[in-house]
Structure 1
Amino acid sequence: MEAVLSIGSNMADRQALLDGVIEHFAEAEQLRAASRTYATPPWGVTDQEDFLNATLLVEVPDEPLELLRRCQALENAAHRVRERRWGPRTLDVDIIQIRRDGHELLSEDPTLTLPHPWAHARAFVLIPWAEIEPEAQLRGQPIAELIAALPDDDVQAVTPP
């Protein structure tokens, strides 16, 4: 099973936290690609530090809910606290898309909605993803088209640090 993961941090040693996730999948020989790290302004709640974000392509034997638990364990190991929605956090490890045999899995399960319900609208997810999979599609739409449909300010705000 292939998965696209979006990772982000805006607390503590942001780059080290992202590198820890990358190393976790690399050591398990499950990392297929990792984007550069991008600096991005906070989304939703703006009175906080900028984020560092990256996108990973991993190939894992896990079932979707097992991968979700694994991502949550990485967040917990980074002392992730969910005090307020879209607030500061040490680490986010979000599942954006899962593919099995080349087919995108769809799920409306509130525990794990696939693809990620807001991925199509977030430049900090799509731009790093396009770097590692330029031909990727989300719900049948090329991510390049999704990026082109975003506000210019959102796209220009996602920059290499």
Structure 2
Amino acid sequence: MRAVLALGANVGHRAATLHAAVDALRASEGISVDAVSTIVETAPVGAVPDQPDFLNAVVLVTTSLGPHDLLAAAHAVEASLGLDRATKVVDGPRPIDVDVIAYRDSGGDVELDEDGLVLPHPRAHERAFVLGPWLELDPDAELPQGRVADLLARTAR
């Protein structure tokens, strides 16, 4: 299966942490990193004001893991790099975030909404910090809401 992962960090050594997250993904059993986008700096999105800007990247992977196991691997990478999910504030500052954005087979997206895992990610179509780096890696990428290129153009307005 192919999957799209989004990385973000706005605390500590952001770029080094993103690179370490990619290395940790590469070292994870059942995950092969196919492509990594350029790192972009973006303003925080959400309800928590007055926090540092994020560095973000998108990683395309091929995986033999199921969606829940891929999410568990993403959480393991986060924990290894200092994120405590028990104290994580939604939309708040964090040393690392690894989100599963899409999980697809050759026929398209695998849609899940169980055990807290919603795929494709329910807000990916609104987030330029996901869409821009993803478009860089896959100009033909699509979400249920439309082509990533078109969605990115809408978020820029």
Q: Which runs of 5+ in 1 are unaligned?
A: 153-161
* SS of structure 1 residue aligned to 2:8: strand
Q: Percent identity?
A: 39
- Does residue 1:19 correspond to 2:22, yes or no? no
2:143 match: 138
1:3 match: 3
- Does residue 1:80 correspond to 2:86, yes or no? no
Deviation string, structure 1 residues 68-101 (Cα, Å, up to 9, x no partner): 0000011111121334221100100000000123
Farther off after superposition, 40-49 or 18-27: 18-27
- Does residue 1:68 correspond to 2:71, yes or no? yes
Q: Which runs of 5+ in 2 are unaligned?
A: none
Farther off after superposition, 68-77 or 19-28: 19-28
* SS of structure 2 residue aligned to 1:75: helix
Paired residue type of 2:69: E
Q: Cα distance, 1:19 vs. partner? A: 0.4
Structure 1 stretches (4+) deviating beyond 4 angstroms?
none
- Cα distance in 1 for partners of 2:56, 2:91 equals 14
Paired residue type of 1:7: L
- Does residue 1:92 correspond to 2:97, yes or no? yes
Q: TM-score, normalised by structure 1?
A: 0.88
- The answer to whether the 8 A contact 2:10-2:54 is kept is yes
2:108 match: 103
Q: Cα distance, 1:51 vs. partner? A: 0.4
Q: Cα distance, 1:110 vs. partner? A: 4.3
1:55 match: 58
Deviation string, structure 1 residues 9-60 (Cα, Å, up to 9, x no partner): 0011111111012112334671111100000011112310000000000001
Aligned residues: 152
Name the structure where strand makes up a greater proportion of residues.
Answer: 2
Q: Cα distance, 1:148 vs. partner? A: 1.3
- Cα distance in 2 for partners of 1:25, 1:78 equals 12
- The answer to whether the 8 A contact 2:14-2:55 is kept is yes
Residue of 115, 118, 127 corresponding to 1:113: 118
1:37 match: 39
1:46 match: 49
Q: Cα distance, 1:140 vs. partner? A: 6.0
